[in-house]
Amino acid sequence: MKKYTVSLALGLMMIAGLSACFHHRHHNDMSIRVSEDEDEFEMEADYRKKQTHDVQVYLNNRLLSNSSVRFNEEDFVDKEITLDDNTTFYINTNPGELNIRIDKNENSEESCERVKRFCKGLEIVLKDN
């Protein structure tokens, strides 16, 4: 009987723990992950799907402002982009998700810094909305 009670208690604790994980994901909390080494800078952002429009506007106004490239909310992009100033980076967008990766060896220091500033600003945009 004691073994059964302990097993039941452990099972309930596991279910409660898993429930908390799913509950947390259900609310689609914002998450931004940045990684950088000597060759590459990458940012992965997960956010509420209803913030997708704000992200697209920020992307167009900040990172793509001096470019003929533009995205709208319906665009789901998974490709390498080259801007008018020859900045080249990989971008993957989906509702509630954005991934940007820039190769430091193939781009100027100024281009890499602009992408980094964009990523830092995106975090502020997502927190404010």
Q: Name the average pLDDT for the chain.
A: 83
- CB 55 within 8 Å of CB 123: no
Report residue 12's pLDDT band, with 50, 70 and 90 as the boundaries. Answer: low
Report residue 11's pLDDT band, with 50, 70 and 90 as the boundaries. Answer: low
One-character DSSP codes across 92-129? EEETTEEEEEEETTTS-HHHHHHHHHHHHHHHHHHHH-
Determine the pLDDT at residue 67: 81
Chain segment 79-126, per-residue pLDDT in tens: 999 999 999 999 999 999 999 999 999 999 999 999 999 999 998 889
Determine the pLDDT at residue 30: 87
Determine the pLDDT at residue 23: 40
- For residue 24, pLDDT over 50 is answered with no
Separation between Cα atoms, residue 25 and residue 58, nearest integer Å: 24
- Per the model's pLDDT, the better-predicted residue between 33 and 1 turns out to be 33
Determine the pLDDT at residue 75: 67
The share of the chain scoring above pLDDT 70, in percent, equals 75
Measured from the Cβ of residue 100, the count of other Cβ atoms closer than 10 Å reads: 23
- Nearest-CA neighbor of 59 among 48, 73, 47, 79? 73
Chain segment 28-77, per-residue pLDDT in tens: 478 999 999 999 999 999 999 999 889 999 998 998 887 878 776 666 78
- CATH classification (class only), 29-128: alpha beta
- Per the model's pLDDT, the better-predicted residue between 28 and 78 turns out to be 78
